[in-house]
Amino acid sequence: MVSIAQIDELVNVLSRAKRVLLTGPAGIDGDSIGACLALAEGLRRHLMLEVYVAGVAPARYAWMDGAPALLSDDELHSSYDAVVVLDGDKGRLTTGVEHMFNRARYKVVIDHHGTTTSDGYDLAIVDSGAAATCEMVYQILKRWNVPLDKKIAASLYVGLIFDTGGFRHSNTTPEVLRMAAEMLESGIDVSTISYTVLSQNSEAGVRLLTSMLANRRTYEPGLSIGGCTLEQMQEAGATKADLEGLVDALLYIEGIGLACLFVELPNKRVKLSLRSRCGVDVAAFAKSMDPGGGGHVKAAGVTMRGDFEDVVDLASAELLQRILEVG
């Protein structure tokens, strides 16, 4: 839980700034955009700050209040007094935002990933016990007595359902459900939000999913892997946003306890998205593959360098070994 002292220190730091930039990782997801948009509105109301949010909203989040005003790297201002990173760390920023972060006088992180540290920040608010960064933002806004109207509630709800898998994951705590109930009381359309964020797919996304599943591989005892090459992405007409949820299709199969989606990136880089339903700590695995990797015990990611098939073979062998070690 975010402490009162941490919230007061956040006010102390940001009240010295005039222009503030909020950002999530380069790969926007429901929790990062929800946390950014909700906190941005809270800062405007509570501290009367000039607040901007960096990023380009994928189609499934484009309906959110505030999403059209997001700034791409090319639209960023010359500088910001403070940069706040939410739901990630400074190692996962876009090139433009990283430049602004390095120039900012005040650097803050608010995150629930256990692999995020305080290194390089003036203030680090990290709670690995939180179900989502949106849960932490909710606690901050409650401390500030910011009314949770439909605009803020919808943003927070997006983050909650995204990181709890629609309240199916083990991080669905009584506190999360009580928070969700308060969001519902604001009058938000939970059915439409849930469908759009968790279920809706583009035609290109369906083509990519079909291609990925057609080449899926399984290994005893309980490893499922899939790949998306640059060629597959091009043939499907897919974008990065269409990758969301593909790894879950690999995991929710009878007998599977560990899944990994390998995505080929330019310049001989491969991104791994990992999910675990067994005793394997995928955050620790990601960190062991590259210092920039990390996430949660059950969900993590890492980018590795090398030829696509070489990375697939190396990581798959290591993942199988991890399964055997935990029994």
Are residues 119 and 221 located together in one domain of the fold? Answer: no
Region 81-96: mean pLDDT is: 95
Average pLDDT estimate for 118-122? 96
**Percent of the chain with pLDDT strictly greater than 70:** 100
Residue 83 and residue 118 in one domain:
yes
* pLDDT value of residue 247: 96
187 and 213: one domain?
A: no
Q: How confident is the model at residue 277 (pLDDT cuts 50, 70, 90)?
A: very high
Question: How remote is the C-alpha of 33 from its chain's centroid?
Answer: 8
Tell me how far apart the alpha carbons of residues 75 and 55 are, in angstroms, rounded to a whole number: 10
Same domain, 122 and 189: yes
Q: Are 139 and 247 in the same domain?
A: no
pLDDT at 248 (0 to 100): 93
Q: How far is CA 255 from CA 189, 250, 272, 278, in A?
A: 36, 11, 21, 11
Residue 177 pLDDT level (bands cut at 50, 70, 90)? very high
Dump pLDDT digits (tens) for 252-273: 999 999 999 999 999 999 999 9
Instruction: Decide if pLDDT at 147 tops 90.
Output: yes
Q: How confident is the model at residue 224 (pLDDT cuts 50, 70, 90)?
A: very high
Token pair recorded at residue 312: 């697939």
Confidence of residue 181 (pLDDT cuts 50, 70, 90): very high
Asked if residue 123 has pLDDT above 90, the reply is: yes
Residue 28, domain CATH: 3.90.1640.10
Is residue 292 predicted with pLDDT exceeding 90?
no
Same domain for 268 and 181: no
Q: What is the mean pLDDT of residues 123-148?
A: 97
Q: How many domains does the chain have?
A: 2
Query: Is residue 285 domain-shared with residue 154, that is, in the same domain?
Result: no
Together in a domain, 192 and 208: no
Pairing of strands 223-228, 258-265: parallel
Residue from 128, 110, 111, 115 nearest 9 by CA: 110
Question: In degrees rounded to 5, what are phi and psi of residue 43?
Answer: -65, -40
Is 88's pLDDT higher than 80? yes
Residue 235: give the domain boundaries. 203-326
CA–CA separation, 200 and 259 (whole Å): 22
pLDDT of residue 164: 95
Write down the mean pLDDT value for the chain: 95
Name the pLDDT band for 327 (thresholds 50, 70, 90). confident
Q: What percent of the chain has pLDDT over 90?
A: 93
CATH at 242: 3.10.310.30
CA distance 256 to 221: 8
Q: What is the pLDDT of residues 304-322, one digit of tens each?
A: 999 999 999 999 999 999 9
Q: Judge if 194 and 211 occupy the same domain.
A: no
pLDDT at 27 over 90: no
Mean pLDDT throughout 83-111? 96
pLDDT value, residue 86: 98
Helical H segments across the chain, by residue range:
4-14, 30-46, 95-103, 133-143, 150-163, 174-185, 190-194, 203-214, 230-236, 246-251, 282-289, 308-326
Between residues 294 and 230, which one has the greater pLDDT?
A: 230
Whether residue 245 is found in the same domain as residue 163: no
Domain shared by 193 and 228, yes or no:
no
Q: Which residues contact 164 (CB under 8 A, 6 or more apart)?
A: 131, 132, 171, 172, 176
d(CA 199, CA 192): 10
Domain boundary among 144, 165, 198: 198
| End-of-domain residue from the set 198, 231, 255 | 198
The answer on 314 and 210 residing in a single domain is yes
Last residue of a domain, one of 165, 198, 231: 198
| 245-254 pLDDT per residue, tens | 899 999 999 9
